[in-house]
């Protein structure tokens, strides 16, 4: 009996020991799961571009909308990598020398790996691939916004028009890009018509600095607002596009480009033109150049519709700018200006909200409250050193006026003879891609571009 009792107690001790060990293992397993086992190993796959020949295993953890996932989202779910939140490192640390990105075909690229058993935590959010760069869609603050155009806004377009666009908005979103060895900014991925009348999306950009003050049109004894014949169109698509002859295009006090030879050395940002990047510019775009006649009452919606309409400053003026209707001896290179609607879509609305700004007349954005909420939260608002800037859109009730952005953040008309700041705008070809090289689109680290053949 004693032996049996002893054996029973011994069994109890063993059971308690086994239970204790199991609990320890369970806790350890949970810890391991949270610290390492959640990472999926990718061994020697073509996802690594490190500084060593074989960095060994790299482990990945995938989060979708901040929830841990076993696998990365599928290619058709509409998710992109949040590169600001994602990171890599060893032993739980962040290694800023390692950058990670995901390509449009959902290949993971990791740059700068030097240590084996590196772990990368990847956060995926709803977004859009723009020229191969995955960019999250913003709901507030500064960033890339999805713009859904209503049926009313697309009435003047044919039924093939794509309604959704993607536009940068806010006081200072990360939309800087190095173009022509200068700082430009991305307006967004916007709807355009090509020479074949197909409706497609193109990346639209604008120069960050003004070229100087020029007249919209100084030609002849009368001053008209027909873009296809304007002096500004000729300058932008002439000596600015290709300054191989070294002509100055800086304006004088009358807004005329100087017609004399400069000491052109190819490096002066104010004289060299766009010769270095001509092959990146899409010269197959049809620009909408119809005008607006309801200046005081026009919202961004109204301008967007009218810009794509048929009203101009004169019944003889075309409402589209193409190679065919550009005046004789002038070359069409698709270098233009922004639209008033480009400016309107670029606000995040501040505490007022985007919709409230969209429903307020652009002419009245200089009202104190709207100037603060709609204008100050708009990266396209001219800075204090460039307080006036031309747009490409004409005032259709009078053949002598075109629209501009003023220092207070509103849109109104000005005589085409007046001299105002000029910020060139253009569309990039679809084979021009944003490099996944760790640049974040900030002013200090602007995106880099490459042409894919």
Residue 99 lies in a domain: yes
Percent of the chain exceeding pLDDT 70 equals: 77
The predicted pLDDT at position 170 comes to 97
State the alpha helices, DSSP H only, in 158-198: none
Residues 309 and 388 in one domain: yes
The predicted pLDDT at position 20 comes to 55
C-alpha to C-alpha distance for 182 and 6, rounded to whole angstroms: 87
Domain-terminating residue out of 129, 162, 181 = 129
Q: What is the pTM of this model?
A: 0.83
Range of the domain at 404: 131-453
Confidence check: pLDDT of 219 > 80: no
Question: Mean per-residue pLDDT for 59-88?
Answer: 91
Query: pLDDT tier at 2 (50, 70, 90 boundaries)?
Result: very low
218 or 81, which is more confident? 81
Residues 169 and 242 in one domain: yes
Question: Mean per-residue pLDDT for 390-404?
Answer: 93
149 or 294, which is more confident? 294
- Helix and strand element counts for the chain (H, E): 6, 25
- Residue closest to 205 by CA, chosen among 232, 190, 184: 184
What is the residue whose two structure tokens read 């000729």?
234
Contact between 153 and 124 (Cβ < 8 Å): no
Residue 286 lies in a domain: yes
Residues 284 and 337 in one domain: yes
Sign for the CA dihedral angle at 216, 221, 225, 231 comes to negative
- Residue closest to 132 by CA, chosen among 101, 99, 166: 101
Domain-terminating residue out of 129, 155, 188 = 129
Q: Considering the chain, what is the average pLDDT of its residues?
A: 81
Question: Mean per-residue pLDDT for 432-436?
Answer: 93
For 30, the 3-state DSSP assignment is helix
Contact between 81 and 47 (Cβ < 8 Å): no
Residue 260 lies in a domain: yes
Residues 388 and 317 in one domain: yes
**pLDDT one-digit tens code per residue, 385-394:** 677 999 999 9
Q: Give the length of the chain.
A: 453
Residue 4 lies in a domain: no
- Residue closest to 70 by CA, chosen among 78, 61, 83, 58: 61
Residues 138 and 258 in one domain: yes
The predicted pLDDT at position 58 comes to 83
144 torsion bin: left (phi>0), alpha (psi -120 to 50), beta (else): beta
Phi, psi of 333 (to 5 degrees): -125, 5
Residue 403 lies in a domain: yes
Residue 8 lies in a domain: no
What is the residue whose two structure tokens read 């629209």?
403
Residue 11 lies in a domain: no
Exposure class string for 111-139: b at 16+ Cβ within 10 A, else e? bbbebeebbbbbbbbbbbbbbbbbbbebe
Q: Which residues contact 17 (CB under 8 A, 6 or more apart)?
A: none
Residues 242 and 288 in one domain: yes
Residues 429 and 440 in one domain: yes
Residues 47 and 151 in one domain: no
282 or 259, which is more confident? 282
Residues 386 and 405 in one domain: yes
Confidence check: pLDDT of 442 > 90: yes
Q: Percent helix, strand and coil across the chain, each rounded to 5?
A: 20, 30, 50
The predicted pLDDT at position 240 comes to 87
**From start to end of 160-220, where are the E strands?**
164-169, 176-179, 182-194, 199-207, 213-215
C-alpha to C-alpha distance for 131 and 79, rounded to whole angstroms: 15
Residues 234 and 324 in one domain: yes
In whole angstroms, how far apart are CA 382 and each of 67, 151, 238, 331, 407?
Answer: 41, 31, 25, 29, 6
Query: pLDDT tier at 261 (50, 70, 90 boundaries)?
Result: very low
Residues 171 and 122 in one domain: no
Domain-terminating residue out of 112, 129, 146 = 129
State the alpha helices, DSSP H only, in 218-373: 231-237, 300-307, 340-345, 354-358, 368-370
Sign for the CA dihedral angle at 354, 359, 365, 367 comes to negative
The predicted pLDDT at position 150 comes to 63
C-alpha to C-alpha distance for 381 and 387, rounded to whole angstroms: 8
Count of structural domains within the chain: 2
Residue 22 lies in a domain: no
Residues 226 and 165 in one domain: yes
Phi, psi of 308 (to 5 degrees): -100, 15
């Amino acid at each position: 009996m004693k032996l049996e009792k002893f054996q029973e107690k011994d069994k109890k001790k063993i059971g308690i020991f086994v239970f204790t060990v199991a609990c320890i293992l369970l806790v350890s397993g949970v810890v391991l799961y949270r610290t390492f086992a959640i990472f999926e190993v990718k061994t020697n796959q073509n996802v690594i571009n490190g500084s060593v020949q074989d960095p060994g295993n790299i482990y990945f953890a995938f989060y979708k909308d901040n929830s841990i996932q076993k696998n990365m989202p599928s290619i058709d779910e509409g998710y992109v990598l949040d590169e600001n939140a994602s990171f890599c490192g060893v032993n739980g640390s962040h290694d800023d020398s390692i950058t990670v990105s995901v390509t449009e075909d959902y290949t993971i690229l990791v740059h700068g790996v030097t240590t084996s058993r590196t772990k990368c935590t990847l956060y995926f959010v709803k977004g859009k691939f723009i020229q191969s760069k995955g960019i999250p869609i913003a709901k507030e603050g500064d960033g890339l916004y999805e713009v859904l155009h209503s049926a009313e806004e697309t009435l003047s377009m044919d039924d093939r028009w794509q309604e959704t666009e993607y536009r940068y908005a806010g006081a200072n979103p990360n939309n800087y890009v190095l173009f022509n060895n200068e700082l430009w900014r991305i307006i967004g991925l916007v709807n355009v018509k090509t020479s074949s009348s197909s409706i497609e999306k193109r990346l639209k950009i604008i120069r960050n600095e003004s070229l100087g003050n020029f007249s919209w049109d100084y030609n002849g004894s009368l001053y008209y607002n027909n873009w296809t014949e304007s002096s500004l169109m000729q300058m932008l698509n002439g000596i600015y596009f290709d300054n191989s002859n070294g002509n100055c295009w800086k304006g004088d006090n009358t807004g005329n480009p100087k017609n004399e030879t400069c000491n052109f050395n190819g490096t002066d940002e104010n004289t060299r033109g766009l010769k270095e990047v001509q092959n990146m510019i899409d010269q197959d775009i049809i620009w909408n150049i119809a005008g607006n006649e309801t200046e005081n009452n026009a919202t961004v919606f109204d301008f967007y519709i009218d810009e794509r309409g048929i009203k101009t400053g004169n019944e003889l003026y075309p409402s589209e700018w193409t190679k065919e209707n550009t005046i004789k001896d002038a070359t069409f290179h698709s270098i233009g200006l922004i639209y008033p609607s480009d400016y309107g879509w670029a606000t995040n609305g501040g505490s007022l909200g985007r919709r409230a700004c969209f429903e307020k007349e652009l002419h009245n954005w200089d009202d104190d409250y709207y100037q603060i909420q709609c204008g100050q939260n708009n990266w396209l608002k001219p800075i204090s050193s460039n307080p006036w800037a031309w747009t490409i859109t004409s005032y259709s009730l009078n053949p002598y006026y075109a629209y501009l952005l003023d220092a207070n953040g509103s849109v109104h008309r000005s005589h085409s003879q007046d001299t105002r700041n000029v910020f060139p705008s253009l569309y990039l070809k679809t084979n021009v891609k944003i490099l996944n090289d760790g640049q974040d689109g900030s002013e200090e680290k602007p995106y880099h571009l490459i042409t894919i053949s």
